[in-house]
Amino acid sequence: MKVSIIGTGYVGLVTGACFAHMGNQVTCVDIDEDKIKQLNRGIPPIYEPGLKELLENNLTEKRLAFSTDTAEAVRNSEIVFIAVGTPMDDDGSADLQYVLSVAQAIGESMDGYRIIVVKSTVPLGSCERIREIISEVLKRRDVDFEFDIVSNPEFLKEGDAVNDFMTPDRAIIGTDSQRAREKMHALYESFFRARDRILFMDIRSAELTKYAANAMLATRISFMNEIAALSEATGANVDHVRIGVGSDSRIGSRFLFPGIGYGGSCFPKDVQALINTASGLDVDLEILRAVEQVNQEQKLLMVKKIEAFYGEDGVAGKTFAVWGLSFKPGTDDVRESPAAAIINGLLQNEARIRAYDPVAIESFRQTFGYTIDYTDDMYRCLHGADALVLVTEWHHFRHPDFSRIKAELSQPVIFDGRNQYDPEYLQSEDFVYISVGRQPVGLGGRK
């Protein structure tokens, strides 16, 4: 099948590469000429495990191409995906300017029937706006080409997006056209050979499903962070509570890990956009407003713990080694990363920061510049620092050499925002260890 993907960001690239891998002829389009040159060399602009290999393979096999020519891509495709960004506007709503601009370009380029698939995360009613724009452009051109609009939201986890796309839980497809339904089923069926989880529904329901799914996951995270606060206040251990709650088959264990809040390009933006959409319809999503508020406060939790630990001495002039800058492991995405909030909070208190991340340093530097120091070695990052602050749970942080950590730090103090380590073990090794929802250890041994 001939497919074009307009937008070569995180969603567009993964979508295009995976469709090409299944034998489709795919053209990915972007207005950034330098990015397109790099992509045609097999160099992705983002870090995503498995993506580079997928690009190289499908470029070599000539199933995948990258272009700046939207018109040509539309004319040479049966199905056109819109996969451009919808950043959060100042009022919390989704900014649709790029989506609507692409709709205009599609209308100007069509030379016959097309299926236009909206992959971008858009508010309810956006597909209708896209339909109206394309219809207006065709009318202005004095042509009467048929087209169908499909809502096909993405559910990819950054850091595991290729695997998610190749072995998906489900595909949500919103359409009011039998013709489009048959084509979309044919496009996706090769991803569901073991079981057919292609779920068809109306367009509005598909648009809402994406937001509702992300809002539910964000809610679980904020709920567990509130339980962590209660656990800490009562002397309970939130890890034990999490395991007990997650063992209930009605609840399950995923997205119940306490920590320092969620970040990234999806949860914060989608929760805010859903609240904004509901408000415009006089619906008050009280739970989601609380979810967002809890998350904002949670990102500063570790700063408060650090300030409380140092008390009157303060943190001014102290050096903190930060492990992890991306909002989660497996990606270089630093958008809405808790690391930014923590580092900002410490810098405002005149602390010094030295940071390490295996892939996200360059992305973080674009925001923070050289206001902090960066290192390319996790242990060198610790040298002479007053404490380690663990922010992102990269796998190689899970079992570090604690004797080396102690030797490098000026004081054996660890602030763990992801509950990666065993408090009893660290207490036996004479560390001060402060985490989330568990009792701190080693405070009596503070120098």
Positions annotated as catalytic residues are 266
- Looking at the DSSP bridge assignments, the partners of residue 51 are none
Q: Do the beta carbons of residue 173 and residue 192 sit within 8 Å? A: no
CA-to-CA distance for 204 and 41, rounded, in angstroms?
A: 39
Q: Write out the chain in H/E/C secondary structure.
A: CEEEEECCCHHHHHHHHHHHHCCCEEEEECCCHHHHHHHHCCCCCCCCCCHHHHHHHHHHCCCEEEECCHHHHHHCCCEEEECCCCCECCCCCECCHHHHHHHHHHHHHCCCCEEEEECCCCCCCHHHHHHHHHHHHHHHHCCCCCEEEEECCCCCCCCCHHHHHHCCCCEEEECCCHHHHHHHHHHHHHHCCCCCCEEEECHHHHHHHHHHHHHHHHHHHHHHHHHHHHHHHHCCCHHHHHHHHHCCCCCCCCCCCCCCCCCCCCHHHHHHHHHHHHHHCCCCCHHHHHHHHHHHHHHCHHHHHHHHHHHHHCCCCCEEEEECCCCCCCCCCCCCCHHHHHHHHHHHCCCEEEEECCCCHHHHHHHHCCCCEECCCCCHHHCCCCEEEECCCCHHHCCCCHHHHHHHCCCCEEEECCCCCCHHHHHHCCCEEECCCCCCECHHHCC
Q: How far is residue 242 from each of residues 80, 86, 222, 236, 376, measured CA to CA in Å?
A: 43, 34, 13, 11, 34
Q: Show the tokens assigned to 261.
A: 């809040």
Across the beta sheet with 198-201, the strand order is 64-67, 25-29, 2-6, 79-82, 114-118, 147-151, 171-174, 198-201
